Structure formats: structure tokens, C-alpha cells
Amino acid sequence: MISGVVVPSLTPMRDQKVNLEGMETLVEFLVSQKVSALFVNGTTGEGPLLSLQERRDCSTLAIKIADKRLPIIVQVGAATTYDSLELATQAAEAGAAALACITPNFFAYSDKELKAFYLEIARAVAPLELYLYNIPARTGNSISAKLAEELAQESNIVGIKDSSGNMAQILDYLAIPNFSVLPGADLLATQALLAGAKGIVAGPAGIFPEPYMALWSAWQSKDYQALLYWQNVIMQISRLIAHGARLDLLKGLMAKRIAGIGTVRLPLLPATTQELEPLQGKLRDILRATKLNEETYNWL
């Protein structure tokens, strides 16, 4: 199972087209930062705005570049079972370490329909591990703890990435035997780890991996004073960038750190200089006050 700091990858763009050269630069950067895993084609990666071919290209390239130095989790959920199956089987063949899958969106699906959807995906790629992905604010469909527990009976449905931001929901998932929970809410990172989560999934960790990796190191060594210290740091960072929900800010900042990131895909609009410049200053001040090396923030 995947554990640690999982980074949901941005998708580099050039002139509104996926920039595969930029993807190579991004993956190499994250490998060098020793993050625990990379999550491709998710919300942070503008997955819903990419074509199926673009998603296939991104996942295949990320897997190739990482070359087993970094586990690649490929998000394969789509609006239809057919498209999700196509993406899942392709990612499995390309060598993904694991898959994740959001619920289908737009229509309100029953638990019976969602269960059938997930079982079909899981059985098509078995024994490859599959993580459910709960993000009801975006999909309009929620994965209940009851449904998750039923799906966990399938041998390769091993856990869930939960982006509900609901600690009670996370605790319900954690009560499921032998079921891995990866919360996608920075503000709940420490609480979730203490409750039994296997790691965290954090968009801002792709830009500022150092404080997130410091938090994980503190957790592994059971240094609770340091754990609380780094939780406070990532809370400050996360609040400034809308907890990772503003992809224009994430990309605007990341473009300052490495080349080839570009901007967001329409209809999203890029962040303005008037937004980014003061934000950079505030983030620099936060990082400068930490125990991190200057190179962590001298690019801001």
C-alpha cells in the first residue's frame, strides 16, 4: 500500500496544450525531493479538463520517467464506466503502482450503481491496487463508509483518498479493517495521521515539498513537538493558497520554481501578477522563519 506524502501532480501546459517536456522536468524535481508517491490526472492535475488521450499520455510519461524511483498512482475516474475502464487498463499496462478512481459525476448515483462501477474497474485491473477517491464537492456523489466497507471486500480495493475535508468521515473510513485512508486536506493532516491514516495527499506539497516531508519525518520518528510545528507551517501555507483549490495560484507559484509548468487550461484563468507577487512575499516570510534551508524559498 502507498504511504507518506503523496503529491497530486500539476499538468504542465504550453499554449493550452499539455507540455510533455514540462512533465519530465516536474517528475524529476519531485523524485529529487524524495516525495513518497505521485498522483497523476487528479483534480490538481486538471484531469477533468484533459482529453482521454492527454490523460493517457500524461500517465504513461510519468510512469516512464519515474522508472520505479517514485510510485505513480493514476487517477482513472471519468464520467462513464467505459472511459474509466479504458483509462484503468491502459494505466495498468503502462506500469502504474496503483490506481485511484473518482465517482462518476453529474448524475446522482445510488450506492448500488457506484458499487457496480467500482467492482467493474477493480476486477478489470486485478491484482493492481485500486483506491476509491471521494471528492463529493466536485463530483456530486459521495462514497459512504458503508459502501467503502462493502467495496473493501474486493481483494484489490485497498483504500480511499478522501477529499471531503470531513474528519468524522475519515474516522468512519479508518474503522474499516485493513483499509488504507489517505486524506486530501492539509488542515487535517496531523489529526488524520494520529487517527491511523497512512499518509497525506497535498497539492501544495508539489511546490513546497520540504515542509511536508519534514512533517512526515517528524511523524515517522514520533517527534510530536516537531509534528505540531510543521503542521502549523503547512496550515499557514495552505490557507494562503486556498488549500490547493486555486490551481491558478499553484501553477503560478510552481512556474517560479521550475520551468515548463505554464498556466491553467481554459475556462480556468491564470493568476495575475497583482495576486502572485504579494503571495510570494508572504510565503517567503513563512518559510524563512522555519528551520529549512534558504534554497527552499530563495526562488520566491
Asked whether the beta carbons of 36 and 216 are under 8 A apart, the reply is: yes
Report the percent of the chain where pLDDT is more than 70: 100
pLDDT score, position 151: 98
Is the pLDDT at 224 greater than 90? The verdict is yes
Residue 98, judged by CB atoms within 10 A of its CB (0-12, 13-18, 19+), counts as buried
Instruction: Name all domains of the chain by residue range, CATH numbers in brackets.
Output: 4-296 (3.20.20.70)
Query: What SS3 state is found at 14?
Result: strand
The reported pLDDT for the residue numbered 259 is 93
Percent of the chain with pLDDT over 90: 97
Please name the residue that has the C-alpha cell 519525518: 217
**Does an H or E element contain 135, and which?**
none
Contact of 182 with 161, CB cutoff 8 Å: yes
pTM above 0.85, yes or no: yes
DSSP secondary structure letter of residue 175:
T
pLDDT in tens, 252-297: 999 999 999 999 999 999 999 999 999 999 999 999 999 898 888 9
pLDDT in tens, 99-139: 999 999 999 999 999 999 999 999 999 999 999 999 999 99
Residue with cell 516537531: 226
Q: pLDDT tens for residues 187-215? A: 999 999 999 999 999 999 999 999 999 99
Measured between alpha carbons, how far is 155 from 127 in angstroms, rounded to an integer?
8
Whether pLDDT at 1 is above 90: no
Radius of gyration of the chain from Cα atoms? 18
